[in-house]
Every structure is written in C-alpha cells, then in structure tokens.
C-alpha cells in the first residue's frame, strides 16, 4: 500500500493524476528508469522525456497563485544553491518580476496548516520542458518537497548544467518521517541542529524528534524552574530564543519539531536542581556514564504533577507541534520499590506493579498534556490499555509494540532497525520496512495506523564534530524507505544515489565527509595525513553496543580518536569486496578487477612504511599500530592468494593455516575498529586453496 485508507482523501487529486498517466515507472523498482537520475528518495512516478532545460545565467523562479514568506525564502535558497552549484549569476530582484522569463514556475494553490501536522498534503507534480519547469502543489509543503526534487535534477550534463525533460508525480508513502537527535549525552549546539535540518529537508524528512532531557543533561532554558538548566546542563542548553529560532527554521523547511522530555526514568539531570522530584533521597549529580540509571521521578507525589503541569505549560509555548514525547523507556522501578511511601501509595491506589504505576503516571501526564492540546508520543514501554486514544507508540525494542498498537487502533511509528548509533551499513537500514515482518500480517485498516518511523541518533558516542558523519548519508536510505514505494529496493542503485546525495548534503553545510580530514589532521599533526586516510578508508567502528562494552567511557571522554574520525560505512571495503567477488566468479576474464584488487593490496602493504615511523610519536595514534600491521599482513595474504590462483599452486597445510590465522587476526576488533576488507581477503584465500567460501557476515561482506 502507498497510503492508508484514512489518508487517501487528502491525496485524491494527486492519486488521480498518478493513475491517469501512462504507467511509466509508477512505484516500480526499475533501476533502468533511474539510470542517470540521482533522485533520493525516489518519487512515486517518473516519466523521463527527451530533451533538457538548460540552467544558465539568469535562472530564476517565480511563485504564482498562493505565496507566503516561507515559500519566498525557499525559492531564494533554491536559487542560491543553484548559483553556487552551477556558477549562474543571480539576478537582482527587480529583474525577476517577469513571469514569462522565469525558468521555474511554482504554483501553490493554498496555504498550509498554521501548525504543520502529519495529515497535511505533501504531494507535488513537477514537469520540466525545454523552456520551462512547472512545480504544482496544493500546499506549501508540497512545494518544499518538489523544490528539493528540482535541485536533485540540476546536474552537469555535457552541455553545461541542465535539468532533463521529465514529468514527476510524487506523494509520500508514510506521513511521519523523522530523525531523533539526542542533544543530551553530548551537547549539540544550535548550528549543528540547523545544518541537520537542512539535510533532513533535502531527503524530505518531516519530523525532528529532539531528545532534550536525560540523565546526562537538561538542555532547555526554563524561566519557571531555572535550576533545571542552570544545574543540569554544564552550561550547555538552548535558550528559549534559540529554541524558537530552530522551530521556525524547521517550519520553513517543512519539518515538525517534537520535543522529548523523557520521564519518569532518564531524569537524573532534573534532580540536580530539584531533588524533590525524585523517588529517592538526593543529592544528585549530572550523569557522566550511561545505560539505565536508577533515579526516577516520584510518580506518587502531588509535587511532581504540580511541577510537571507548570513546566509543560511553560514549554508548550516553545513547541507548537500537536505531539509531545514523554519518553517512558527503561524504567526498572528500583527507586520506587525502595520507597515505602510509594509502596503504600501503590497499595492504596490498587496499582499491582511498576507497570501499573508507570501507567498511572502516564495517565496523569496525558491529562496535563490534553489541557495543553497536546497528544502523547512515547517509547513502546508506555503501551497500556488505560492510556487514552490518540497517542503514538514509538517501537524501538522490536516490531511487537508497533503491531500491537496498530491492532489496538493506536498510531505507531517504527525505530527498531533504524538506530544510527549501531553503525550498520545503509543497506541494512534500507531493508527495514514498517509494514514488513509481523506488520505485513495486519489488515489494511490496522496498517493505516502505522504512520512511518524515525531514524535515531543517540549521542553516547557522537559529538557535534562527528554527528553528521553518523547521520549522513545513511539516513538517506531510511528517508527513502519512508517516502518511496515499498518496491523500491535496489541496493546498488541506492548506493549510487547516496554518493550524489552526499555531495548535495555538503552543499547545505553538513560535515559528514570533511570532518574526517580535520580530525585525522589533528591526530597526525605535522605528518602527512594521506596514509591515515587510506587506513581509515578500510575501517569501520565496531557495531551495536560493542563500544560501550569497553566500559571506560564517560560523557567527558573526548571523542577524538581514529574510531571517531572513521566513517560508519567503508565504501572502499564495499567496492573491494564486490571486485573480489567479480574476479573470483571469472578469474580469467575480469582483468580490470584483478588489477584493482592488486593495486589495493599493494597500497595496504605500503602503509607500515608510511606510518610506523610516526605512530609511536603520537600518543593518540599508537593504538593504530596493530591495525596497520594486521592490514599489511592481510594484504600480503591477498597477494599470495592471487599468485596461487594464477599459478594454480594452492597453499596447503601449515602454510594455509598460517595465512588463515592472519585473516582471522585481522577480523578481530582493534582500537574499537574493524578492518572491513578482511572477509573479502578471506574469500580470496579460500578460493586460492579450493575451499568453499565462509558464510557472509550481517553486513554482507
């Protein structure tokens, strides 16, 4: 399904257009149709025509019919980005009044909602002919989405810059497409949030889920309860003015902002200034480590609810969205169990266990929020029959919460499988679908309650310097899953388009590619940085929760090592792995592949001589030495395997065992990093010894 039955009416005119047009590439996973087009997310329907519209000096766009400041600003941003990308000269305003000469005509037929909501129509139609492009939408949101598509079509094309003649009709599959940014475990300054909002807009995401309070930090200025931010944030908090500015910035880009004030657990930072909110005696200090901490809000005390009522009344002024995230995850309840007054309260209220007490707490919150016209979003732990309808369940522990919520007629969004901090490849996130697995068994009415999902950027191991590289470009894969038809699944084509997206994202100021060089230069000092880049190119940080398992981190530990600089997904390893497989499938024919493999191996063999003299001189680089040694050893094994394949003399016995041991050593994490080319070298070795290949790991390498 592309839209739930209860949303169909909103999009009827566009659906009609979708069905009336010839069946070009409607919802089809048709890589051939995508060839050469770097659109991401892939639109609902694309009909490529012959010809092009040149983008040359004097390009400008006009808005007709309905307009408003955010549309004018969006058009201005588009013109500026085109000017920077193509070198066209921006015309002064007075020279752009002439509609006839405008290359892009934007026709919006009406205003959007005062406060953006998930029921709003985001569809658009973009038609490009030789002389002119027309973007039509019934709301400003549709215009914003269509402008991003237009920008993705502006490419160098041999005759300069141009946009292909094309007809696109586009409508999102899910109305809730979000990114969670945790500004608590590590502080994320306003400019970090803003550039990520620009990235989100580029891939048509429409919800910033802003995680604003935690054990490790309370990040919003409260004028009513100033000790929250004064004592709970180490001075790193958003002023109310900054919050307003970011919420406006997001709205200008068609993005809702949903604040999360996680409670009753994950609340230590609140208690530093207001220990009376806690279930156990203080004093409290800001959390410096992470995991599930013991302090919980006192769910049995009037003081807590009075405080929360006033606090929320202050905060709703800053966050206009109709939804409010109450967190609700990971509540072990020990502090409740240890407090006799709370235990007595539970008996009096007939609350059987901690789940019942949390449900009581959530019902109180729901009432407070209802008075402020806000509906609740919460992690899947909050699911409980006593909660009012109209809440949204965010499923993170699996798909069960999502499915159960939908069965009960509650809205739900998916985050399980989309934890960016797990450092998984884009392809793995791409395979996750909110309507797959157990959700596929739901009937269409139930499925319509699944509104979409959110990628989650938890910040235990990211700083403002590294966060972009953990979010981008992988989030593009999730954005496509949430926007495009379920049948768009070609992973090769995804990677091709993510590569272009990466460059587009740099254009809006994201640092996901460039930060590595800064960080490696800092590590290298006056030494050449290129060998370190070559090393980092084949590495990836360890996966899942392996990094926290080392146990030596606090929120004050600098994230400044090779593992922090290294990107989550090694495209070099991906290319190497694919080339090895092509070569092994056709050892005699794949001459260029053989050459590529040999060149890579030779480069890795050279790394010790480039790096060894220096590694020990740089305290922070000493940990890279075993990696360099393991990689060079691996490269030598690869070379031997190539020779064995060419001579037909396989390695045997102890020789083979020694070579295999080198590969096995290289597969083990070192300095919290993995050498991602090790599995492919292992396949090369096994092939040279005439052995069956070892099964692939989860990353498919």
- Point out the residues that are catalytic: 330
Minimum Å gap between C-beta 397 and ligand ACM is 8
By C-beta, is 166 or 478 nearer to ligand ACM?
Answer: 478
E strands in 439-522:
450-457
Minimum Å gap between C-beta 417 and ligand ACM is 12
Minimum Å gap between C-beta 362 and ligand ACM is 15
Minimum Å gap between C-beta 180 and ligand ACM is 9
Measured CA to CA, the distance from residue 465 to residue 130 in angstroms comes to: 43
Tell which one of 38, 68, 157, 330 touches ligand ACM (CB under 6 A).
Answer: 330
**String marking each residue 376-405 x if it binds ligand ACM according to CB under 6 A:** ---x----------------x---------
Closest-approach residue to ligand ACM (CB): 329
Instruction: Enumerate the H helices of 586-700 as residue ranges.
Output: 591-615, 625-647, 653-667, 678-688
Handedness of CA 185, 188, 189, 190 (dihedral sign): negative
Minimum Å gap between C-beta 330 and ligand ACM is 5
By C-beta, is 209 or 229 nearer to ligand ACM?
Answer: 209
By C-beta, is 329 or 504 nearer to ligand ACM?
Answer: 329
Q: What is the total count of residues that contact ligand ACM (CB under 6 A)?
A: 4
* Residue 570 DSSP symbol: -
Measured CA to CA, the distance from residue 83 to residue 89 in angstroms comes to: 6
Query: SS3 for 31?
Result: helix
- Which is nearest to 174 in space by CA: 426, 360, 1? 1
Residues 656-675 that bind ligand ACM (CB under 6 A): none
Measured CA to CA, the distance from residue 565 to residue 568 in angstroms comes to: 9
**String marking each residue 286-325 x if it binds ligand ACM according to CB under 6 A:** ----------------------------------------
Minimum Å gap between C-beta 398 and ligand ACM is 12
CA 373 from centre of chain: 29
Minimum Å gap between C-beta 266 and ligand ACM is 8
Handedness of CA 486, 488, 490, 496 (dihedral sign): negative
* CA–CA distances in Å: residue 184 to residues 261, 291, 417: 11, 13, 22
Helix (H) or strand (E) holding 337: helix 334-337
Q: Tell me if 258 sits within 8 A of 324, measured CB to CB.
A: yes
Minimum Å gap between C-beta 333 and ligand ACM is 15
- Reported residue count of the chain is 701
By C-beta, is 311 or 396 nearer to ligand ACM?
Answer: 396
Tell which one of 329, 454, 540, 640 touches ligand ACM (CB under 6 A).
Answer: 329
By C-beta, is 454 or 493 nearer to ligand ACM?
Answer: 454
Measured CA to CA, the distance from residue 151 to residue 104 in angstroms comes to: 11
Report the first-to-last Cα separation within the chain, whole angstroms.
32
Max CA separation in the chain (angstroms):
83
By C-beta, is 330 or 491 nearer to ligand ACM?
Answer: 330
Instruction: Please report, for the chain, how many H helices and E strands are present, in that order.
Output: 26, 18
Query: SS3 for 53?
Result: strand
Residues 459-498 that bind ligand ACM (CB under 6 A): none
Q: Tell me if 197 sits within 8 A of 249, measured CB to CB.
A: yes
By C-beta, is 398 or 650 nearer to ligand ACM?
Answer: 398
By C-beta, is 29 or 330 nearer to ligand ACM?
Answer: 330
Q: Which residues bind ligand ACM (CB under 6 A)?
A: 329-330, 379, 396
């Amino acid at each position: 399904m592309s839209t739930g039955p209860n949303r169909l009416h909103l999009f009827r005119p566009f659906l009609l257009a979708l069905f009336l047009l010839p069946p070009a590439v409607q919802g089809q996973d048709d890589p051939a149709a995508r060839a050469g087009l770097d659109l991401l997310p892939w639109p609902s329907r694309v009909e490529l025509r012959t010809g092009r519209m040149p983008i040359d000096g004097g390009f400008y766009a006009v808005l007709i019919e309905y307009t408003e400041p955010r549309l004018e600003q969006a058009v201005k941003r588009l013109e500026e980005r085109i000017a920077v990308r193509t070198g066209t000269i921006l015309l002064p305003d007075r020279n752009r009044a002439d509609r006839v000469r405008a290359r892009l005509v934007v026709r919006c037929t009406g205003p959007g909602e005062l406060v953006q909501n998930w029921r709003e129509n985001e569809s658009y139609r973009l038609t490009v002919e030789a002389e002119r492009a027309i973007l039509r939408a019934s709301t400003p949101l549709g215009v914003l989405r269509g402008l991003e598509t237009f920008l993705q079509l502006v490419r160098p094309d041999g005759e300069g810059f141009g946009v292909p003649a094309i007809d696109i009709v586009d409508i999102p599959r899910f109305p809730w497409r979000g990114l969670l940014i945790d500004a608590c475990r590590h502080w994320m300054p306003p400019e970090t949030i803003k550039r990520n909002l620009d990235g989100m807009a580029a891939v048509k995401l429409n919800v910033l889920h802003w995680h604003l309070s935690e054990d490790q930090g309370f990040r919003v200025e409260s004028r009513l309860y100033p000790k929250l931010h004064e004592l709970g944030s180490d001075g790193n908090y958003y002023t109310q003015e900054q919050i307003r500015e970011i919420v406006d910035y997001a709205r200008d880009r068609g993005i809702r902002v949903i604040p999360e004030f996680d409670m009753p657990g994950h609340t230590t930072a609140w208690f530093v200034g207001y220990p009376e909110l806690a279930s156990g005696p203080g004093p409290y200090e800001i959390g410096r480590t992470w995991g599930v901490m013991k302090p919980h809000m006192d769910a049995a005390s009037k003081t807590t609810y009075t405080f929360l009522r006033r606090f929320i009344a202050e905060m709703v002024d800053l966050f206009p969205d109709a939804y409010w995230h109450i967190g609700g995850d990971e509540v072990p309840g020990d502090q409740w169990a240890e407090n006799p007054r709370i235990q007595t309260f539970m008996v009096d209220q007939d609350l059987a266990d901690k789940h019942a007490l949390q449900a009581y707490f959530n019902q109180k919150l729901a009432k407070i929020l209802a008075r402020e016209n806000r509906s609740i979003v919460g992690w899947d732990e909050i699911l409980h029959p006593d909660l009012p309808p109209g809440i949204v369940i965010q499923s993170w522990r699996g798909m069960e919460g999502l499915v159960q919520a939908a069965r009960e007629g509650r809205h739900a969004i998916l985050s399980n499988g989309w934890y960016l901090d797990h450092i998984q490849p884009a392809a793995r996130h791409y395979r996750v679908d909110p309507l797959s697995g157990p959700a596929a068994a739901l009937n269409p009415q139930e499925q319509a309650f699944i509104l979409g999902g959110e990628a989650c950027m938890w910040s235990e191991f990211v700083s403002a310097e590294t966060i972009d590289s953990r979010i981008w470009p992988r989030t593009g894969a999730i954005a496509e899953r949430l926007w495009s038809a379920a049948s768009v699944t070609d992973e090769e084509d995804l990677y091709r388009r993510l590569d272009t997206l990466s460059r587009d994202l740099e254009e809006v100021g994201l640092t996901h590619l460039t930060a590595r060089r800064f960080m490696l230069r800092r590590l290298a000092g006056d030494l050449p940085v290129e060998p370190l880049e070559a090393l980092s190119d084949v590495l990836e940080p360890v996966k899942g929760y392996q990094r926290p398992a080392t146990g030596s981190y606090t929120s004050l530990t600098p994230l400044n090592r090779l593992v922090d600089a290294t990107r989550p997904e090694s495209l070099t390893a991906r290319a190497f792995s694919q080339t090895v497989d092509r070569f092994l499938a056709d050892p005699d024919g794949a001459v260029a592949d053989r050459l590529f493999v040999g060149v890579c191996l030779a480069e890795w063999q050279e790394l010790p001589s480039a790096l060894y003299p220096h590694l020990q001189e740089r305290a922070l680089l000493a940990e890279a030495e075993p990696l360099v040694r393991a990689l060079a050893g691996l490269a030598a094994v690869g070379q031997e395997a190539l020779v064995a394949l060419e001579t037909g003399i396989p390695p045997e016995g102890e020789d083979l065992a020694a070579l295999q041991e080198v590969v096995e050593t290289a597969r083990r994490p070192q300095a919290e990093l993995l050498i991602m080319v090790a599995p492919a070298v292992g396949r090369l070795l096994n092939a040279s010894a005439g052995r069956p290949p070892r099964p692939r790991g989860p990353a498919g390498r």
